Amino acid sequence: MKKYKHTPGPWLVEGFVQNTGSISVCAGRMGIADVFNGVSIFETLTGEAPRTQMANAQLIATAPNLLDDLVEAAATLRRYEALHRAKGTTDSVAKAEVNAELASRFEQTIALATA
């Protein structure tokens, strides 16, 4: 697996930080992110603010896993693309194009995440 610039996982939601009102995402003892409660009027009125804040923290904490899975999925799609192209039938070439399009989208997302 390729080495990236980001701090390796696992990243974990460490919980609410009293003095800042944030939720910390950490990798071991290293802080990755503090997620603050960007409260909208709707979230204030509905009580959704803490849930949104936790959901954001959980999404950030899963980033290394999501990246690894996306890299693997893109590579798998490229292998299937090559296999379908090798068959050379109209149907298999169409399948290869679908795999190529999806792999390309994944590769663009990977490039944005690892720039």
What does the pLDDT look like over 61-101, one tens digit per residue? 999 999 999 999 999 999 999 999 999 999 999 999 999 99
Shared domain check, 72 and 43:
no
Instruction: Answer yes or no: is 110 within a domain.
Output: yes
As for how many domains the chain has, the answer is: 2
Shared domain check, 70 and 56:
no
Domain carrying residue 45: 12-61
User: Which letter, b or e, does each residue of 1-24 get, where b requires 16 or more Cβ atoms within 10 Å of its Cβ?
Assistant: eeeeeeeebebebeebeeeeebbb
Instruction: Answer yes or no: is 2 within a domain.
Output: no
pTM of the model: 0.81
Among the residues of the chain, which ranges form H helices?
41-46, 49-61, 63-87, 90-114
